[in-house]
Amino acid sequence: MLTDLHIRDFVIAKELELEFGQGLTVLTGETGAGKSILIDALGLVLGDRADSQSVRQGADKAELSAMFDITQHKAALTWLQAHALDSDQECVVRRVVHSNGRSKAFINGKPTPAQQLKELGALIVDIHGQHEHQAMLKPAMQRELLDNAGRHSALEKTAQAFDTWKSLQDSLNALRQRLEQRGARLDLLRFQSDELEKIAPVEGEFTQLSEEQFRLSHVATLAESSVSAIDALSGDAQSVQATLAHARKQLAQITSIDTSLQEYDDLLDSAQIQVEEAISGLQRYADTLEMDPARRDFVETRLDSLAGIAKKYRIDPESLGQHLQALSQELAELDRAEVSIAELEAVVAQAGKDFLGAAKNLSAARRKTARKMGADIGQLVRELGMPDCEFTVDVTSDTKALWRRDGIDSVQFMIQANRGEVARPVAKVASGGELSRVSLAVQVISAASDAFSCMVFDEVDAGVGGAVADMIGQRLQELGSRQQVLAVTHLPQVACHGQQHFKVSKTSLDNRTQSQVTELKKSDRVEELARMLGGAQLTATTRRHAKELLTHARKLRTA
């Protein structure tokens, strides 16, 4: 539910701060006062395209923000959590448009792309403008309205079945394409496999050989340093080994006098053992350091071979074994490609049957919903001043047409405006007034299926009046009992049904025109409705009529 809307320097609005309540809120005002500016501002803050024309002349930027209570709006809460934009049970959306046309968007204080505003806006606000019927004329929109009304669980099952079938079909097509190129591909794979098998790369081999090559290239240095270290440890009377032996001999003469020196003798004993082990290890290492030109040549030749073929295939030398394994696997797959295709064709065929089964269940659900939806819309259209109108929702299924995630159905809104006429698609209804009323009926009936969105109607009651206007007001008020509804209207018969009433007017300040919005209470509402009924000259009769309208609307709400 929309709770607050703040506007600053937007078009001709300098600064507006509005608080909205539940139920039906109406916005009225004289023609040209800027009633639709509020709707445009709400659309902009929820992701509509921004440009420099949105900024009030002379201002650097326009700032708009809206606050929503989404306590019970599971879809919005889930969306915010999925995008890491959640903040308790409230949602604050903000848009800043600069005079150069650039804009910034924020959700709960975090910068976001305008596209995300649009996604969130589609969940929490449903704006129906004066030309909303243009969207309703599209077959895809008609199908979407039908599915929204029916809340068809089969729709998700159909989409999942389609995705499964489509994925398998894509795999089958790819396999068939590979089979067409099978001959040339097999020749290439066999050549590459043979080439790699001759080299027979081993995992880790390249790294080990590289380390060995480095060691072989420094064998002389390694041998010389090893022998020098051995000589230092054990070569003569000055060596470490001889020195340790002498030290222990000296200690042996005095430990019998002072036993506390025994621990030092133990330490020297340990050191002597470690020195002897180091000498032995170094000697074994030195014995292995033989100048072997043949081994060095082999290592270098092997490294060159591995590096060369790796460069040819543009892969890391250590990946040669994995590449050979992949080639072998693809060869095996191609060898049994014909068998695989037959198996996959059977799986695809079954997936197709599963999709058609789900799609047919969806078609049956749509037809059931279509009968009720058509009857409900037809009844409402008749109440809106078209007494002979018959409205139907046709659902046509075609299993041979191009399959879609939303099934196999075409949905068409049909209308018979007058008795004796043939039912025609709504798109071919000639009268703009008739189309406007049909559109409103479709919107009201469709909106009843969503209990948590904020519905906005921007003068969709244009072209009607009198009893029909009163019926429109009643329907909007009824809709407002289930969810929040905002309606811009020029009809007093509609405005009287609002539980909250804002008046939009234009004033001149410092030779600048700007919009003002005032919330009307009691006598002010009477004056505004009287103006809408009788124009600039207000009389006792128009005021009395205005009071009667408000009393009539209040009785309907409390009935």
* Residue 434: partners with Cβ closer than 8 Å, 6 or more residues away: 386, 415, 417
Pairing of strands 2-10, 24-28: unpaired
Q: Are 467 and 439 in contact (CB under 8 A)?
A: no
List, for residues 202-249, the tens digit of each pLDDT value.
888 888 888 777 777 767 677 777 778 887 888 677 788 888 888 888
Q: Which pLDDT score is estimated for 449?
A: 56
> In this predicted structure, which of 60-74, 334-348, 411-425, 501-515 has the lowest mean pLDDT?
334-348
Q: Which pLDDT score is estimated for 178?
A: 75
Highest mean pLDDT among 175-179, 292-296, 365-369: 365-369
Rounded Cα gap, residues 394 and 419, in angstroms: 19
Q: Are 15 and 90 in contact (CB under 8 A)?
A: no
Mean pLDDT of 105-115: 91
The confidence band for 129, taking pLDDT boundaries of 50, 70 and 90, is low
Rounded Cα gap, residues 540 and 270, in angstroms: 120
Whether residue 131 is predicted with pLDDT greater than 70 in this model: the reply is no
Nearest to 480 by CA among 465, 495, 502, 464: 495
Q: Are 65 and 94 in contact (CB under 8 A)?
A: yes
Whether residue 124 is predicted with pLDDT greater than 90 in this model: the reply is no
Rounded Cα gap, residues 269 and 3, in angstroms: 88
Whether residue 122 is predicted with pLDDT greater than 90 in this model: the reply is no
Sequence-ordered alpha helix ranges (H) in 289-316: 293-313
Q: Which pLDDT score is estimated for 194?
A: 87
Q: DSSP 3-state helix, strand, coil percentages of the chain (rounded to 5)?
A: 60, 20, 25
Q: Which pLDDT score is estimated for 409?
A: 95
In percent, the amount of the chain with pLDDT more than 90 equals 28
The confidence band for 108, taking pLDDT boundaries of 50, 70 and 90, is very high
Q: Where are the domains of the chain?
A: 2-130+417-558, 184-335
Mean pLDDT of 519-541: 87
Q: Which pLDDT score is estimated for 175?
A: 81
Q: Are 494 and 510 in contact (CB under 8 A)?
A: no
Mean pLDDT of 265-274: 88
The confidence band for 286, taking pLDDT boundaries of 50, 70 and 90, is confident
Residue range 2-130+417-558, CATH number? 3.40.50.300
Q: CA 424 from chain center: how many Å?
A: 38
Number of residues that this document lists for the chain:
559
